[in-house]
Structures are given as structure tokens and as C-alpha cells.
Structure 1
Amino acid sequence: MTQVGEGQEAEESAPPVMTFGAPTAGEILAERYELVEHINNDSAGRLVWRGVDVVLRRPVAVVLRYPGGDSATEMLQAAVAASRVIHPNLVGVYDAIDEGERAYVVREWVDGRSLRELVTDGPLDPGRTTAIGNAVASALAAVHATGMVHGNVHPGTVMISDEGRVVLADARTDGADSQQNDVRAIGGILYFALTGHWPHSEAPLHGAKAGHGRAAIPDAVRDGSGTIAAPRQVRAGVPAYLDDLTMDLLDVGVAPPPSDVLTAELARLDIPVEDDHYLEPTGPLRFAAEPGDEPSPLASVGGRKVAIGIAGLLAVALVGLLIGISALGGDDKNPQTEPVAKPATSGPATGAPPPAQVRKLTVADVRIIDPDSQLRDELGGAEKVIDGDQDKGWETDTYTQPKFGNRKRGMGIWIDLGEPHTVKSVQAELSATGASAQLFAGTIDPPPTSAGDKQLFNSYKNSPIGQPFEQHDGTRMTFDGFNADAKYQYLLLWITELPANDRGFQIGVQEITVQGS
């Protein structure tokens, strides 16, 4: 299992990192992190260990570098920067320590495989490829919203957990990259997933050096002039719109969209494979040409046509921007985003009205759902999670073990919006870090009894929204995996694991905010 991806290719001439005095299994770092098993070394020669946080009793990945000091500055700075961005599709960073003779970063352990390892079994189908691209774009949108750059988007840094969660790891802060290059790298991710070949999108597409360094993977198929073959030329069954989008992202002559715009488009394309129209070449995202203009020579590779105008791009930009703001708890009046958020007043393509403005939705009712309790003594105080006061909230009892003393599956807060709404995100503010939770949607409102709670949970648990948070290292959880074409009235924030405090295991929910239209 690759726990820290290979990242950008390391040159063969790169000096090896000294590993004299390397740690051994059983050693405890910083009086907290026990090393269990050496997994591998990454492209920079750093040692990657599976470990355990002996305080919180959770698995961790420990990335060690010899020596520490000035030579480890970039690694530690990247870790500190990454720890400030909390998102379900970003690997959580827990700690960064410099001991002089060695430095190490402690981060979330992901049970699963990197995209690079996954594709060794064969290229992925278009649906799974789109879902992975959407997750990576969403993670980058969160990073870019802070003004930072990831700088290391590669099949080795895209991790897929055994439960299907997609996370991006191993950011860099050496200043050698840009947000545009981050977005172009998503084209490389799509290309690699669809074909099993890497187009080296972080380098010029023509004449790029193939297969070098520790992270060498098969180069893209190329013609005599060095031009890469489109995914549809490499394998059958790739939809035209996904093929076009991938090639546009790789084309240095086509300006890539912002990451939040790309997230919105990939979310739109992320549809079930069984949909009858899935393979129809409709709805491509293009990044150039005014309506009615002839396509620019730079916007065409192998005869591909530009098929969307500026008005359509702005409409997609509005959706993506609002999703990004909601997910990060940002301010709608950020001067950097206001100009982009103005929808086009007319559009030659469809004439459809712009999307409704996202706003905070009124919650009509909340209550505590506790299907496995006999005492039902934790039901009071639910109204505090919607009173606008983050100093007051509802909290669980204190338990002796994180999974509610192993006596029940979890507890939840049921939310009634009063009537169906288009929902963009649900944000929960918690009293402590380390909780695990999921969001569900449902259609029934049974009576507030033990039997009613069982009926509600059993009905809602089959309709998850987005990815679950597992031992979340922040106090804010933002769920934004809603279907833009669906309406929701009933939601359930379901807590499955409690963090530790000085008395046992407990969590408080201070405030819940629902954004939508």
C-alpha cells in the first residue's frame, strides 16, 4: 500500500536522503506516535511508516526525513499549510515536528491504494474516472480558495480508500507551481485513469521526457510529432465529452478554468453508468471562443470544436463558485470572487435563467435521533444547534469508549427544512476534533419514539450525502455532495464516533447551517 504517493517524478540524479539511525518498529516519536511498520519510501527518499497515535488510539501515517533542520523546511511548511485546509477529499495533517537530526510529518492513515496502484489492474471506466476527477477538483478548489497551490497532483498522490473515498495527499509549497498547473494536472489524472498512461501534464506535452525517476509510469501514446493520442484513440467506450474535457485540460493553448468551475462541471458529468444517455457526446465543457466566432486554432487539438460560449461558462462558474464558498464557510462578498459570480443576463445557447442565489435556509424543526437507546435521556437541547449561538449546543453523554460504549450504532440530529429545497451544503460546527459523522437524506417523518427513530434511521441510511468524515481533525464538517437536480426536506447528521476528553468520550454540536435555494 502506498501511503504517501510518489508525487512528481524525482530525477535519477537526485541525491539520496540519509537514513543512518533510522527508527525501528515499536519506537515512539514525540512521546505519542508509535511506529508499527515501514511501508515504503516516497520519491524524495522519505521513509513512510504506519503508526498509531497512542493518545487518541487512531492509525496514522508517519513520513520521516533525514536530516531535519533547514533541509526539511519545505516538507514542514507544506504540512503546516495543508493542515489549515479541511476538506473530505484532502488527507488530514495532524502534526509536523523537526528534531534536528530528523523531521517527520504525521497525517491521516488511508486504508486503500493510490490511483497509480489501482490502475495497474487496468484502466477505469468513464464513470469512476469522472468521480475521481471530481473529488480531486473539489479538493483543489478548497486549497485554491485559501490562495495556496497544491503543486503535486499525480496518480501517486491521489488515494482511494477501501470505502471508495478519494483523497489528495502530499502538497508542496516550494513556489515552483501555480493554480493553473494544478488544474491542468487534473487532465493528467483523467487521462491516466482512462488509459493507464501519464501525459506528463506538469511538463510540456511535446518532447516531454518519459519514464524517468522513481515515479516513472508509462508515457502517453504519441504520434511521430510527439502529439499525444486522445483517450478515445487509445481505448473504446470513452464518451466524447469526457475525451474533449481531458484533452482541453492538457492543451497548453486552452486556458484552464478555475478549479471551482471545473468541480461544478465534473459534478454535472458525474452520473450513473446505467443512465441511458451516459455515452452520448453531449454537454462538453470548453474554455474558449465567443458564441458565433470561429474556434481559435489554439482551442482545437485533432479537429476538436469549441462548443460552449462565455454565457454558459459564467453560469457554470457561478454554480462552482457558490459550492466552493459554501464548503469553506467563505464570505459571499469576497472582492476576489464577486466579479465572477455575476450571472450572464442572456445566453444564446439555452436562454435558461441563471441559478437561484444560494442563501442560508430556515430550519423548521430539529430533534435528536437515538434508535438504540433504552433510556433516551440525551434528547434535550436539539434546538440549540439552530439558535445562531455557537457557544450553546447539544451534546452527548460521556461514554467510556468512542463508539458510544459499543452499545449503539450512533446518534443523530434530524433536520426538517419545512418544505423541499435545493440544498448546496450542510455545515456542522462541533465542540471538539476527532469525531466521525455522515449526512443522510430521507423522505419520512415518523413519530419521535424509539420505534420511530429505528424506522427513520433504517430508511435514511441508504441515502448518504457526500463522503463521511472519519476521526475528523477539525471542528467544522461541511457536506456538499447534494444532487443539484433533487430537492430535500429531511436530513440526518449521524454521529458514529466520539472524540476523547478528560472524562471519556463525548461530542457537542454547536450549530448547524444549511445553504441552498
Structure 2
Amino acid sequence: MTQVGEGQEADEAAPSVMTFGAPAVGEILAERYELAEHINDDSAGRQVWRGVDVILRRPVAVVLRYPGGDSAKEMLQAAVAASRVIHPNLVGVYDAIDEEDRAYVVREWVDGHSLRELVADGVLDPARATSIAHAVSGAISAIHATGMVHGNLHPGTVMVGDDGRVVLADARTDGADTPETDVRAVGGILYYALTGHWPHTEASLTAGSTRRSRSPLPDAVRDASGTIAAPRQVRAGVPAYLDDLTMDLLDSQLAVPSSDVLAAELGRLDAAAEEHYLDSGPLRFTSGDDGGPDLPTPGNRKMLIGIAALLVIALVGLSLGINALVGNGDSTDGQAGPTPSTGTSTQPAVAGDPEPPAATPRKVNLKGNQVRVIDPDGTRSELDDVEKAVDGDSNEGWETESYRGGSKFGNAKSGMGILINLGEPREVTSVQVVFSDPGVSAELRWGTKDFPASASGDRALVAAYTNRIGNPFEKTENTNVLFNQFVPPGQKYQYLMLWITDLPETESSGRYKIGVQEITVQSR
């Protein structure tokens, strides 16, 4: 749940008269908790209020549910269970009361924002994402140590206080979750913090309809087979070890570590991040020595740096001594020995040496004049607003018109597309497309040149752009798709075309349309 706002102390005036039914500002619950401000209604249909404990004079959060009794049993049981676990990264639970007509839980008020709100303003840097995951895994480990599970770990229940404290709230006890569920959810928290997408989102059917409802969190970017893209494929700058850890936690084919082992590993990464030591190598989820490399602690790292510095000094001194001997001595033919020039290696390349690492992919900053609509069979009345597909805001984009008579543009045309001109040949690594709705069929093609912006020019372009990048997406189950099968490595592209062949049905039965909300190109 999302909690915002500032706490306040109770007024000195006498408490108001207790009322029943809908809560109101100023009402006193259990002769102790004054309701100060209605914050929101959470996804479970509960009201979240900011309140004040008039006895201890401290701000509290009050979560109310109508009615009480059996309908509130799970909420109250979860609150009672959570109150037994004391941990700095868990929200404190103060009270749980059932009045039959309504029930409410009183817990610690946190001045701050949910992780969902923070990431909505921009994805987090790897160090901060690691720190938050470390705090969350520590809280989960404390819960698991009591034999319980949290069962409700997502970006809305992770709170980040204005003072930097990270706390976990709103556990549930419906019996459907396990410790493994919680641990994999930590992987989801990492993925969301790094990419802004939630990997555990599943499309669900709305009752009485074939339309798929949207999740409140953006779904993970997926390829044609439904596999989620790794964080490094979605954004640049994610360290390889953090990318691997996140994807391992999300891989259902791999066993996950226990929560305490995960907390220990993330703690070491968190400490290393504070020392700006991020290239840690592979992680080892084990409590014993398996012979694998370990992440150096900050103290060990300083010692290693000192040893390395001494070795460098010794090698430089040895090199200078050898050069002096060679320069002052006579060779067998009376000529001085050769002196290597500055910056030139005297060592020949050895077969099998590793290639230097490829540059990290970065987002191509596309402008509105670098994209245009391709409509070879239409009336060319759908060309406007295409620049919104590359403006960085996925809340708005380019839309087709609404078609009747079938998903293939009312059976009036073979398809429509958007041509992307990268400005110059680039080594493209991925193209991410965010659609307005699932159920679209699309593919990515490439060509070598542009054509006139006319119906005949568009027909010539579509005929020339026959090369596809990977497999097409057919009736996607998600709104986010990723084209990343650019082969062979090193090939450069300047012109790419997103080609749409099938539209999803809108909520108005019998009509079909799609919006392209955002196109993101990554290249080296």
C-alpha cells in the first residue's frame, strides 16, 4: 500500500464523539486513535488513514476494513503475527481491533514513500537498489526465523522513509505463500528498482470478458517466447553480477538460497557498494567454502590495493634497472640495445587472449523527426503524433484509428508501421516497444535506405524491408516486448521498421486499435 503525508500531534481539545459507519476526520477509535487524514484505499479494499495516538502522542497509520468479523479475520491474524517480529526493517504493529461492523489495524507511521512511488520518478542506481534489497531480505529473514512468511512483498509494501530507513509492511497469512515465494519476490524488488518493471505481473481475464486487465505495475519486457529481458538489456549501467543475481532469483528452474543466506550476500554487496567496489564477480549462495571466489570485504579490499601498489612499485623499479643495464652495456655487435617507445607493447599478441569487453549498450536519444508512420494501403490519415512514441513518456503515444470488421485493420490493409532512422549506422543491441494493450502482433524489420513519405514510397519501403530481427510476436500477452536477436554481432543498422499486422479488440466489442506508447533503442 502507498503511504504518504506527514504525521501530526493530537489537538489539545477533548476527543470527538465516537460515530459508526464511514470514518470521519477527527473520529476517535478505541478511545485512543484519532483519524487525521484519509490517505487512500488499497488494492484489498481497505482504507488507509493517517492518525494520532492521543495517549502516546505519536503519529500512526490506521488501516480499516468493512465489515469486521470473518471478513477481516485474515487481516487481523496477519497483524497479530507481524507484531511478534521486531526488526528495524519491519513496520511496527501497535494494535488490531475487531468491532464486527469494522476492523482496523494500527501500525507505525512512516514519513516517506513506497518503492513504487520512488521508481515512478526514475529507476534507481545499482547501489541504492542493492541497499533496498538488502534491507528487505533482512526483514524477510527475521520473519522466516519465526516460521512465518510475509506473502505480500511488492513495490507497494516496501517503504523508504525520508530518513533513508527501508521498512516492509502489510504481511498476509492466507497460507498460499512459502519462504521461496518471499525470496523470489526479493528478486522482483531488485528487477523493479533497476528497470521500473515488475517481473511477477500476470495478465488476468476480467470477469465476463475476453479482454485482459492491466496490472497497476508495468509488466517486465519480454521476448517473443515470453521470457523476461535481463536488467542489462533494459537499461545501461547495471553491473553483471547484479544482473546475474536478479535473474537467478527469478529463474524458477534454479533453486533459491534461504533468506538468511541471501541477506548475507546482499549485505556484502551493500558494503562493497559503499566502497565503490562493484565489479564483484560471481556470487556464491553457500555457507561453506566451495572453492569459488568471494566478494572482498571493504577491509580486505584496502589491503589488496596496498599489496597491488607495492607490486607495481617493485615491477617499475625492476624494469628501470633492466633498461639501465641494457642501455649502458655493449651488445655482441657493438650496438646499443633497442629502447621500446612510450605506449608501445613489446609483447606479441598471444593466440587465445580474451577480446577486450564490448562497450555497454546505451539508449539512443531519438527525436520526433527520426520516426514516421508507414501506411502503404491506407488513406494516410493516421500519421500524426508519431513523435510521442519516442518522447520518453509511456503514458502517451501514437495510435491507430479504430477499425471494424476484423483485427487485421478491418481486413482493409496488410499492416502499418513506424520507420526509425537512427541517424547513422549503429550496432543495435535491443529495441523495446511498449504498446497500449496486449493482443497485438508485430515484428521488427530492417533495411538500408529510406523512401519518399508517400503511399507509393511506403509500398516500396515495405517491399524492400524483408529482413526480420528475430521472430515476430503473435497476439502478445503483455504490453512490453523486446527485440534483441541482432545477429551477427557487430552488424550496424540505420533504418529499422516496427511492422504491425494484427490489432487487439478494444473494450468496445467489434472494434480494433493499438497505441505505440514508447520505442527505446539501445546500441553500442
Alignment of 1:171 with 2:145, yes or no, is: no
1:349 to 286, 292, 302: 292
Residue 90 (structure 2) pairs with residue 117 (structure 1):
no
Q: Secondary structure at the match of 1:271?
A: helix
Query: What is the letter of the counterpart of residue 262 of structure 1?
Result: L
Question: Alignment partner of 1:144: what SS?
Answer: helix
Shift of 1:213: 6.8
Which digits, 9 at most, give the CA deviation of each residue in 1:143-168, with x for residues without a partner? Answer: 00000010000000000000000000
Give distance in 1, aligned partners of 2:281 and 2:122: 27
Counterpart residue type for residue 291 of structure 2? P
Q: Using a 3 Å threshold, how does the CA distance of structure 1 residues 262 and 208 change in structure 2: closer, same or farther?
A: farther
* Stretches of structure 2 lacking an aligned partner (at least 5 in a row): 5-19, 296-524
Letter aligned with residue 144 of structure 1: H
When residues 212 and 165 of structure 1 are mapped into structure 2, their CA distance, relative to the original with a 3 A threshold, is farther
- Give the aligned partner of residue 287 of structure 2: 314
* SS class of match (1:35): strand
Q: Is the 8 A contact 1:248 1:286 kept in 2?
A: no
Q: How does 1:399-418 map to 2 (within 5 A)?
A: none
Equivalent residue pairs, number: 277
- Preserved contact between residue 60 and residue 107 of structure 2 (Cα < 8 Å): yes
Q: Which residue number in structure 2 is paired with residue 191 of structure 1?
A: 191
Q: Secondary structure at the match of 2:36?
A: strand
Q: Which residue of 1 aligns with 2:129?
A: 129
* CA shift in 2, pair 1:215/1:158, >3 Å: farther
Q: CA deviation at 1:274?
A: 6.8
Out of 281, 284, 308, the residue aligned to residue 282 of structure 2 is: 284
Residue 245 of structure 1 contacts residue 286 of structure 1 at CA under 8 Å; is this kept in 2? Answer: no
Deviation (angstroms), 1:229:
0.3
Q: Aligned ranges for residues 455-466 of structure 1 at < 5 Å?
A: none
Q: Distance in 2 between matches of 1:265 and 1:239?
A: 15
Aligned-residue identity in percent: 74
| 1:197-346 map, 5 Å | 197-200=197-200, 216-271=216-271, 273=273, 275=275, 277-278=277-278, 280=279, 282-285=280-283, 313-315=286-288
Give 2:41's aligned residue. Answer: 41
Read off the aligned partner of 1:314 and give its amino acid letter.
S
- Contact 2:35/2:49, CA 8 A, preserved across alignment: yes
**Is the 2:37–2:49 Cα contact (8 Å) retained in structure 1?**
yes
Corresponding residue for residue 420 of structure 1 = none
- Specify the SS of the correspondent of 1:314: coil
Give the direction of change, closer, same or farther, for the CA distance of 1:194–1:98 in structure 2 (3 Å limit). Answer: same
Cα distance in structure 2, aligned partners of 1:161 and 1:221: 29
Q: 1:350 to 1:132 in 2, by over 3 A?
A: closer
* Alpha-carbon distance in structure 1 between the residues aligned to 2:276 and 2:172: 42
Distance (whole Å) between structure 2 residues aligned to residue 95 and residue 212 of structure 1: 39
Post-superposition shift, 1:216?
Answer: 1.3
Tell me if structure 2 keeps the 8 A contact 1:43–1:215: no
Distance 1:209 1:268, change over 3 A: farther
Check the 8 A contact 1:242/1:284 in 2, yes or no: no
1:361-383 Cα distance to aligned partner (Å, 9 max, x none): xxxxxxxxxxxxxxxxxxxxxxx
Deviation at 1:172, TM superposition (A): 0.3
**Aligned partners of 2:204 and 2:212 also within 8 Å:** no
Q: Structure 1 residue 350: deviation in Å?
A: 6.0
In structure 2, relative to structure 1, the CA distance for the partners of 1:209 and 1:270 (3 Å cut) is farther
Three-state SS of the structure 1 residue aligned to 2:287 is helix
Unaligned runs of 5+ in 1: 5-19, 288-312, 316-343, 353-517
Distance 1:174 1:31, change over 3 A: same
Letter in 1 for 2:131: A
Cα pair 2:283 2:294 within 8 Å, conserved: no
Determine if contact 2:51/2:61 at 8 Å carries over to the other structure: yes
Residues in 1 aligned to 2:204 and 2:283: alpha-carbon distance in whole angstroms: 26
Letter in 1 for 2:99: E
Does the CA contact (< 8 Å) of 1:249 and 1:256 recur in 2? yes
The aligned runs of 1:351-430 (5 Å cut-off) are none
Instruction: Give the whole-Å Cα distance in 2 for the aligned partners of 1:215 and 1:45.
Output: 16
1:451 corresponding residue in structure 2: none
What letter is aligned with 1:83? S
What is the Cα deviation at residue 21 of structure 1?
Answer: 2.4
Distance apart, 1:22 and its partner CA: 1.0
Residue 49 (structure 2) pairs with residue 76 (structure 1):
no
Q: Distance in 1 between matches of 2:242 and 2:293?
A: 21
What corresponds to 1:309 in structure 2? none
